[in-house]
Amino acid sequence: MPEPKARELLDLEDLALHEGATVLLRLKLAQLAAGEWLEVRGDSAELAEGLTAWCRKEGHRCERAQGVAHTYRIEASAGIPATSTSRMEIRESAEPSWGLAPRGARVEAGGPEFAFTLREKREVWARELNAIYKQAVAGQWSAARDIPWDELPKLAPEVERSVAQVMTFLTENEFAALYVPARFIARIHPHYREVVEVLAMQVADEARHAEAFTRRAEVGGAGLGITATSGQLSLKTLVEEPDFTTATFLLCVMGEGTFLTLLKFIGEHAPDPVTSALALLAHRDEARHVAFGMEHLRYVFEREPERKASMDAAVARRSWMLASISGLSPYVHDALVIMAGGGVEPRQIRTGAHRVSELHREMDRARRERLQSLGFAPEAAARMSVYHTKNFM
């Protein structure tokens, strides 16, 4: 019976297997379907014995060609079973066995299963992810390069201490805003890599903010201020929230949304160009974080409108947990008043206190506006805004 005709030919010349011949063999065999033949020629002394052993390991059948010296025939096998994933199609559910394979890769069967607990699209997805990520990459700034540190004037001691206290407050909140997304990144299946990328940029942003705010507190000579127990209690409830969507809502929509108003206020009333520049650059970053939170919640609410009630309940529950906190930390309140008024003269304190009162009203207005844009009724939005932690984040 004549030998089946080989579909492909490969001349290895004197190239030995250990010198890279297996690379060429795999390239040729990858072009064949199961059952098709590859004819291999080669003058290497080890080819006869080595080729048979290699084919056995790879799952192919190997035989000598009839009547032709130094020539062998390999019948291609079906290969190792693999699952093909689409780069463009984003599945509603990601398989644990896909592991860390990028979307669009072929994944060999038999690999380990990874314990990604967030592997449903509805749990993590958001609209406009690519746009948010591109903006984040383009908007990266450096505390060393982009802040005019040499323009920092010598401020009155009371004003400098107030700025340092505000910077301390900002820094502890930035740590919370860093740890919340960081906690969830390792739980999200990489099939939803766009979400992972956006959250990774958030972590980088918050780390840079913490660095810059700490530096501002120290460079003026006052050093870091006081961290209040009330602030720590508030942030603890945020950092320990176990549900991704709820944590995103409390952090990005409620907390960082409120911080947008605060950072704008600091930028407008800062006593020096360094503090103003820091606040406005951080505001730009936080606006992206808020955008992600809003787009994630819109995606969730479109599919599960009943989850609005659970977000409402989460805000109320957090308010109840923080019932012992009567208001903003006096350290932060007083520092904002002095900074906004420009000093500690009675007329300056009056001005600063009036501006801080306006700040609270603007925070409330902006929160209600964001909540209503997500579909909450005006009464619910007003109630949730009032319940939001008095420590802003």
CA gap 36, 78 in Å, rounded: 10
Cα–Cα separations (whole angstroms), residue 229 to 169, 218, 257, 330: 12, 22, 23, 11
Q: Mark out the alpha helices in 112-192 (DSSP H runs).
A: 121-124, 129-138, 143-146, 157-185
Nearest CA-CA partner of 162 in 282, 359, 342:
342
The arithmetic mean of pLDDT across residues 140-153, rounded, is: 96
pLDDT score of 84 = 66
Q: What is the pLDDT confidence band of residue 257, given thresholds at 50, 70 and 90?
A: very high
Going by C-beta distance under 8 Å and a sequence separation of 6 or more, which residues neighbour residue 256?
177, 286, 289, 290, 293, 393
Reduced to 3 states (helix: H, G, I; strand: E, B; else coil), residue 175 is: helix
pLDDT score of 89 = 86
The arithmetic mean of pLDDT across residues 135-143, rounded, is: 96
Q: What is the pLDDT confidence band of residue 2, given thresholds at 50, 70 and 90?
A: low
pLDDT score of 292 = 98
Cα–Cα separations (whole angstroms), residue 270 to 25, 83, 155, 389: 68, 57, 11, 24
Q: What is the pLDDT confidence band of residue 66, given thresholds at 50, 70 and 90?
A: confident
pLDDT in tens, 73-116: 999 988 767 676 767 789 999 999 898 999 988 888 878 999 99
pLDDT in tens, 217-251: 999 999 999 999 999 999 999 999 999 999 999 99
pLDDT in tens, 273-298: 999 999 999 999 999 999 999 999 99
Do the Cβ atoms of 29 and 60 come closer than 8 Å? yes
pLDDT of 306 strictly over 70? yes
pLDDT score of 326 = 75
pLDDT of 40 strictly over 70? yes
The arithmetic mean of pLDDT across residues 125-136, rounded, is: 97
Better-scored residue on pLDDT, 153 or 81 = 153
Domains and CATH numbers, the chain: 8-75 (3.30.110.40), 82-115 (no CATH), 121-387 (1.10.620.20)
Parallel/antiparallel/unpaired status of strands 106-108 and 37-41: unpaired
Q: What is the pLDDT confidence band of residue 323, given thresholds at 50, 70 and 90?
A: confident
pLDDT in tens, 178-200: 999 999 999 999 999 999 999 99
Q: What are phi and psi of 72, to 5 degrees?
A: -135, 155
| Percent of the chain whose pLDDT exceeds 90 | 85
pLDDT score of 82 = 66
Q: Mark out the alpha helices in the chain (DSSP H runs).
A: 21-29, 47-58, 121-124, 129-138, 143-146, 157-185, 193-219, 229-239, 244-248, 256-269, 273-303, 307-321, 330-341, 346-373, 378-387
The arithmetic mean of pLDDT across residues 124-145, rounded, is: 97
pLDDT in tens, 161-171: 999 999 999 99
pLDDT score of 159 = 98
Cα–Cα separations (whole angstroms), residue 180 to 34, 87, 344: 50, 28, 37
Mean pLDDT of all residues in the chain?
A: 94
The arithmetic mean of pLDDT across residues 316-331, rounded, is: 90
pLDDT score of 223 = 96
Q: pTM, whole model, 2 decimals?
A: 0.86
pLDDT score of 4 = 75
